């Protein structure tokens, strides 16, 4: 889950920025969910929020504009995968534990403050999942951290 960005590359110099931050940081629980691509390819990324379609039990990218159950959070996608139109794939999602909130990926213009059924996604992630706790990227709770 680390990322390398090359900032300078010449014949005599190479500078890279390394991002070793993680999205799943402590005591996480995972399970698989089947996601079907219908009408177009589905591009999944690590950190993307996943909901469950009530009628089929299949996963889908969570979106506030949906009304089939996938507008509510089930978990956070743990892998990058492309599902071709017409195919179904099994995908790992995080259903409980500590997740860095800055690494979450929402559909469209949704964010943690988007309200669905009079509750924000921040509240829904905490209550509708098995126990996903959103944490800051920098944890400064120990006395020796500064």
- Statement: the pTM of the whole predicted model exceeds 0.85: no
In DSSP terms, 115 is beta-bridged to: 120
Look at domain 22-135 and name its CATH class: mainly beta
For residues 28 and 31, give the distance between their C-alpha atoms in angstroms, rounded to a whole number: 10
pLDDT digits (tens, 9 = 90+) for 43-96: 999 999 999 999 999 999 999 999 999 999 999 999 999 999 999 999 999 999
For residues 141 and 61, give the distance between their C-alpha atoms in angstroms, rounded to a whole number: 33
**Domain boundaries in the chain?**
22-135
pLDDT digits (tens, 9 = 90+) for 120-130: 999 999 888 88
pLDDT surpassing 70 at residue 19: no
Backbone torsions φ then ψ of 124, nearest 5 degrees:
-65, -40
Q: Where are the beta strands (DSSP E) in 10-64?
A: 14-19, 24-36, 42-44, 49-52, 59-61
Pairing of strands 81-83, 24-36: unpaired
């Amino acid at each position: 889950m680390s990322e390398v960005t090359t900032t300078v590359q010449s014949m005599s110099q190479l500078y890279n920025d390394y991002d070793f931050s993680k999205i799943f940081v402590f005591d996480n629980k995972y399970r698989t969910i089947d996601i079907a691509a219908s009408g177009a390819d589905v591009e999944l990324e690590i950190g993307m929020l996943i909901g469950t379609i009530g009628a089929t039990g299949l996963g889908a990218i969570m979106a506030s504009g949906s009304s089939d159950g996938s507008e509510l959070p089930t978990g956070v996608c743990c892998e990058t995968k492309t599902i071709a139109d017409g195919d179904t794939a099994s995908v790992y999602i995080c259903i409980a534990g500590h997740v860095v909130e800055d690494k979450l990926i929402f559909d469209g213009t949704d964010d943690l403050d988007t309200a669905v059924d009079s509750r924000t996604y921040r509240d829904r992630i905490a209550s509708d999942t098995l126990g996903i706790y959103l944490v800051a990227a920098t944890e400064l709770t120990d006395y020796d951290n500064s």
